[in-house]
Structure 1
Amino acid sequence: MKSVAVFLVSSFMLPAFAGPVQDANKKLVTDFYNMAFNDHKPTEAAKKYFGPKYIQHNPNVPNGAAAFYNYFEGHFKKNPQSKAIIYRTLADGDLVALHLNSKLNDKDPGRAIVDIFRVENGKIVEHWDVVQPVPEKTANGNTMFDGQNEK
């Protein structure tokens, strides 16, 4: 009886953690992110991946695709070596979260960022982020990006 209960719970929980919609949303967001932030093509990325209405929750960037790419086109002109290293991609329904290190250049320790995107009809329509500078040292000896086998 115990194995049946585990099977039933697992079966009902599975769609929240994996599935074709979540996989497609993760691919969409990571493709967008790499094009915009690693290939430095924010205009092309926004035009390809954003929906007709793009809601921005970062306090430094206005709503809309044009505001996004105008902001980041200027950023990349000032920071031509910038890059983003994606460590984790998580999806839950229409939400995709990226855990990453955004660096201005190879000497920059960067910022630890969690970007959260909402996807609707195969397009990115909303964005939130949490940004924290990467410290030189940590009290626990762990990095902000590595996982269980860190020490």
Structure 2
Amino acid sequence: MTDTSAAERNKQQVIDGFRQFAAGNIEVLRTLLREDFVEHSPGNPSGRDAFIEYIATAPVAGARLDLKRVVADGDHVVVHYHMTPPGGGRGLAVADIWRLVDGQIVEHWDVVQPVPEPEQTPNGMF
């Protein structure tokens, strides 16, 4: 298997999981995340079960997630999306970075930024 095919397989795995999660299926994380999953975002717990318990009550679980782009490089997949909370508002621009091993996510990093007023970003956020 080439690095390109591994990257494409990882990319598809993350896209499929993202779409299921965005549709409200939090349980998809049980198959996507490895049990010893490591979280790098401040305040978010590591470990599959602790992370799932946390994320089930986090704002992302009830938000609309609009996927904008996905980039894969070897065992890393980056997902860039617009997260809009229930009730609307401008929401957040999010970039999640996932590292996969043997088809499961083993690490996560993210960058989260409030979407500013349109006049502040004449070229758009996405």
Q: For this structure pair, what is the TM-score category when the shorter chain's length is used for normalisation?
A: 0.7 to 0.9
Question: Which one of 56, 66, 87 corresponds to residue 73 of structure 1?
Answer: 56
User: Who is 1:46 aligned against?
Assistant: 29
| Aligned-pair identity (%) | 33
Q: How does 1:50-129 map to 2 (within 5 A)?
A: 50-75=33-58, 80=62, 82-105=63-86, 107-129=88-110
Which stretch of the first structure deviates more once superposed, 58-67 or 134-143?
134-143
The Cα offsets for residues 82-127 of structure 1, whole Å up to 9 and x where unpaired, read as: 1211111001110000111111136221101110000001111100
Q: Any idea what the Cα deviations from partners look like across 1:64-91, whole Å, max 9, x if unmatched?
A: 1112211122236x974x1211111001
The residue identity in structure 2 corresponding to 1:68 is F
Q: Deviations over 1:23-46 (max 9, x none)?
A: 11011111122222x12222x112
CA distance in structure 1 between the partners assigned to 2:29 and 2:48 by the alignment: 6
Structure 2 residue matching 1:143: 3-state secondary structure: coil
Q: Aligned letter for 2:7?
A: Q
Name the structure where helix makes up a greater proportion of residues.
1
Return the index of the structure with the highest Cα Rg: 1
| Aligned mates of 1:79, 1:21 — CA distance in 2 | 29
TM-score by length of 1: 0.74
CA change 1:27–1:75 in 2 (3 A) is same
Any gaps of 5 or more consecutive residues in structure 2?
none
Long gaps (5+) in structure 1: 1-14, 146-151
Higher relative contact order (CA 8 A, sep 6+): 2
How many pairs were matched up? Answer: 125
Work out whether residues 79 and 104 of structure 1, in 8 Å CA contact, stay in contact via their aligned partners in 2: no
